Structure 1
Amino acid sequence: MSTATGMAALKKAANGKRTLRWPHYLLIASGLLVLLSLVRVIDDANPVTSSGTVSASLRLAVPIFLAGLGGLWSERSGVINIGLEGMMILGTWTGAWAGYQWGPWIGVLAGILGGALGGLLHAIATVSFGVDHIVSGVAINILGIGLTQFLAGLIFDKGEAKALGGGPRQSPPVDSIDTLTLPVLSGGKIGGWQSPDWLGSLEDRHWFLLSDLAGILRGLTSEMSLLTFVALLLVPLSFLILWRTSFGLRIRSCGEDPYAAESLGVRVYRMKYAAVIISGGFSGLAGAFLVTVAGNLFQDGQTNGRGFIGLSAMIFGNWRPGGLMAGSLLFGYTDAMNVRGGGESVHALLLFVTILLVGVAVWQAVRGTRLRPEAVTDLGHREVRNAYFGSVLALVAAAGLLAWFLMSDLVPGELVSFTPHLVTLLVLSLASQRLRMPAANGLRYRRGEAR
């Protein structure tokens, strides 16, 4: 077999994940649900799939995946955006400033504009002036913190705002956005009529799989904020725009090869500006969510690093909206379990992760075996070696978690909070060969220059 043939076979094997379609993802999700239900029954940890945990997970995940979507739009155009945190902070302040005066939906629009302003500054620095993307992002983060602290003391600590509860580090309260509850299935009141709660009744029976499914559905259909519903729609909308429209194709071409895009008539500067401003708008929306849904007021330090976590979720999702959503839900779920379930319930997740790691070990071993006949190049040998190393690493981690599960009854909350970050590190180490950022991401572009 020739070297070229071996390389082609390795490339095909490495890209095998691209053959997955929605039925495959639904099958994987169903398998994970069955496994989670089994773990819940074994460890008697009912909060693992309760509607309260699911609802809290979604509420905690939304600002993360909105920030991650902002990073996705920017980096698909070739501009690294670590200034998402600062843009979120600008969104929280502008959202609260407008929200307490003119209502929460005006606050949402103001938050988007505040974040978009941060995106515009980042675009001017990186696209027009060629400033290093990391340096510009750090500057945006510092600017967001300092500017909002100054403005909070200047506006919220005086006059009517102070009388309404504002102060040097917080805004007056902002009205909450209305929520939706599906009648009959998830309860709620319609006028003076108390609706039945079929899903809640089924959840309380704690049956295998059926009660878990009912808890998840009830968490998604009970008291969901309208802004949460809008935010969820932005995930498929982003996919459709970036992967199914000519506008999205132009943006992605700028992130892969801006000079080739330029030769085809794409206005690269314009596309980069549009993508980075949209990125800031998503981050500002994440900040507005914090002050209109999650917290109902602006507070200093409110974002708490969610912009950086959004970047981690974006990498976890391999720069794709669906994977980004999955990573964000993972972060939100572990936070919700820490808040609502306690260490006893989180203990059940040790067994869940143990079984998953065993599955990863088997998959990596099978992958290495399939690659061995084609490993005729140095790249092939590295692929096989990495596959087997990943298999051994997953088995060692699974053995450690199983021992922890058998020898303890609870998990400290500090470790639970660190779990999403640990999972992200595991993904980066086990699947680094399959992660692919845009080829021209972070590179300086100048119109007409030779590559």
Structure 2
Amino acid sequence: MTTVTDLNQPTLQPAAPTGRRMSLPVLMLVIAGALALTSIVRIITGADGITNVSQMSTALQLAVPIGLAGLGGLWAERAGVVNIGLEGMMILGTWFGAWAGFQWGPWTGVLVGIIGGAIGGLLHALVTVTFNVNHIVSGVAINILALGATRYLAPLAFEGHQGGSAKQSPPVDSLGHFTVPGLSDALTDLNAKGWFFVSDVAGLLGGLITNVSWLTLIAIALIPGTWWILWRTAFGLRLRSCGENPVAAESLGVNVYKYKYLAVIISGGLAGLGGAFLAIVANPFYLEGQTSGRGYIGLAAMIFGNWMPGGLAIGAGLFGYTDSLNLRGGSENVHALLLLGALLLIIGSIWLAFRKKYTSSAITLLIGGLVLAWYLGTNEVPNQVVSATPYVITLVVLALSAQRLRMPKADGMPYRKGQGK
């Protein structure tokens, strides 16, 4: 157990996060079980699109900006600052990324997009840390300010250029994609065979190595990078101490203001990177409203992941997958997911009964039965349901995971320098 005096030791190797968490072998078994159940549903329904290579590749692309926004929220909240302004920082990232990208190239656009989001983070830190304004109020204000600022700047920057308008930037050059030769084709062929489980695993792996942007690789690398910095360095220990007990951290010589500022600026930069991804990779141009609430969904992914990078990545993948259903054969695939949801609810009911939570088990079984009846009584779902699926899944996942959540103790709490004296 780390002692309080360790906070001032630059060579300290902080202890790993403690608490009851799922081990890697158990996590792999859970993922394998979920894939097996999905495979059963695919065979029963004939909805081969739910696990094909194209579906998984699209899901990965949609998960990246959500994951980057969630990482931004993780950095801020681990330092004790609630960042509802992620959506606005993503909007700044889309505009700045496209503005610089079409003039000086896509990689410059990525860098300037990060800076744009970081400016939003700096503003949020100034208002919340220095002036102690309510974090939620500040975040909402930044969202409104970013939307208004980009609407004002877009006509000035983009009109008069080829392909540009008041609501859209000129196209930005591609960052490039890579595909693992040979292996990608082999996995695609294996996925097309429709075998139980094996083809579904091939579809998942094929989506990870087929037409993947270089920026996607950077985003994926930021997941373990964030974990290592926050849980394996003295810098990360000090930053997290500001989110757990800033008064105690200050008493041990930690400059709480500095770490909160750094965390929120990094948070904005990551959200800005997610916005630049949307404007350069997902679409090769800025388009008004293209974030579509992904900053909020990223915040939900962070909460689902229990303020941990690994859980956040799983949450972002889940939300990206459900969002991809809206783009690729949505009605058929979402209808198949009704059966998958019903089976998961029934399994959950059995698990709750095993743990002697009979009331929760009965409610879960009732909901599962209703979802199963919906599946059996229809051949397709309305387009409105397809469009709403990512947001419904967000609410359901948060509701189901709420019992196991543990946020940083001082998250969102006001702090003044010297208040512990």
Q: 1:91 to 1:433 in 2, by over 3 A?
A: same
1:56 maps to 2:54: no
> Residue 203 of structure 2 aligns to which amino acid in structure 1?
G
Distance 2:20 2:177 in 1: 37
Is contact 2:300–2:398 with CA below 8 Å preserved after alignment?
no
1:181 maps to 2:187: no
Distance 1:363 1:228 in 2: 37
1:18-97 equivalences in 2 (<5 Å): 18-97=20-99
How far 1:426 sits from its partner (Å)?
A: 3.1
2:208 aligned to 198, 220, 239, which one? 220
1:286 maps to 2:274: yes
Is contact 1:64–1:307 with CA below 8 Å preserved after alignment?
yes
Q: 1:59 to 1:86 in 2, by over 3 A?
A: same
Is contact 2:178–2:210 with CA below 8 Å preserved after alignment?
yes
Structure 2 unaligned regions, length at least 5: 1-16
Q: 1:241 to 1:342 in 2, by over 3 A?
A: same
1:230 maps to 2:218: yes
Cα shift readout 1:266-301 (whole Å, capped 9, x = no counterpart): 111011001000000000000100111011111111
Larger Rg: 1
Is contact 1:180–1:223 with CA below 8 Å preserved after alignment?
yes
Q: 1:16 to 1:288 in 2, by over 3 A?
A: closer
How far 1:423 sits from its partner (Å)?
A: 3.2
How far 1:120 sits from its partner (Å)?
A: 0.4
Cα shift readout 1:103-156 (whole Å, capped 9, x = no counterpart): 111100000000001000000000011111111111111111111111111121
Is contact 1:91–1:283 with CA below 8 Å preserved after alignment?
yes
1:120 maps to 2:122: yes
How far 1:329 sits from its partner (Å)?
A: 1.4
Distance 1:176 1:124 in 2: 35
- Secondary structure of the residue that 1:340 maps to in structure 2? coil
Distance 1:130 1:87 in 2: 20
> Residue 167 of structure 2 aligns to which amino acid in structure 1?
R
> Residue 178 of structure 1 aligns to which amino acid in structure 2?
G
2:386 aligned to 405, 416, 422, which one? 416
- Secondary structure of the residue that 1:364 maps to in structure 2? helix
Is contact 1:53–1:341 with CA below 8 Å preserved after alignment?
no
Q: 1:407 to 1:17 in 2, by over 3 A?
A: farther
1:73-222 equivalences in 2 (<5 Å): 73-157=75-159, 162-186=160-184, 197-222=185-210
How far 1:236 sits from its partner (Å)?
A: 1.2
1:317 alignment counterpart: 305
1:443 aligned to 392, 410, 413, which one? 413
How far 1:208 sits from its partner (Å)?
A: 1.4
| Structure 1 outlier segments of 4+, above 6 Å | none
Is contact 1:82–1:308 with CA below 8 Å preserved after alignment?
yes
Structure 1 unaligned regions, length at least 5: 1-14, 187-196, 370-386
How far 1:232 sits from its partner (Å)?
A: 0.9
What is the TM-score when the length of structure 2 is the normalising length? 0.93
Is contact 2:85–2:139 with CA below 8 Å preserved after alignment?
yes
Is contact 1:48–1:341 with CA below 8 Å preserved after alignment?
no
How far 1:341 sits from its partner (Å)?
A: 2.5
Cα shift readout 1:386-421 (whole Å, capped 9, x = no counterpart): x44432221111111111111111122322333333
> Residue 320 of structure 1 aligns to which amino acid in structure 2?
M
Cα shift readout 1:339-390 (whole Å, capped 9, x = no counterpart): 11231222221111112112222222333x3xxxxxxxxxxxxxxxxx4443
1:426 maps to 2:396: yes
- Secondary structure of the residue that 2:327 maps to in structure 1? helix
- Secondary structure of the residue that 1:18 maps to in structure 2? coil
What is the TM-score when the length of structure 1 is the normalising length? 0.87
> Residue 343 of structure 2 aligns to which amino acid in structure 1?
I
> Residue 345 of structure 1 aligns to which amino acid in structure 2?
N
Structure 1 range deviating more: 306-315 or 80-89: 306-315
Distance 2:34 2:19 in 1: 18
How far 1:63 sits from its partner (Å)?
A: 0.7
CA RMSD across the alignment: 1.7
> Residue 191 of structure 2 aligns to which amino acid in structure 1?
E
Distance 1:303 1:222 in 2: 24
Number of positions where the alignment pairs a residue of Structure 1 with one of Structure 2 = 405
Distance 1:430 1:233 in 2: 28
How far 1:170 sits from its partner (Å)?
A: 1.4
- Secondary structure of the residue that 2:20 maps to in structure 1? helix
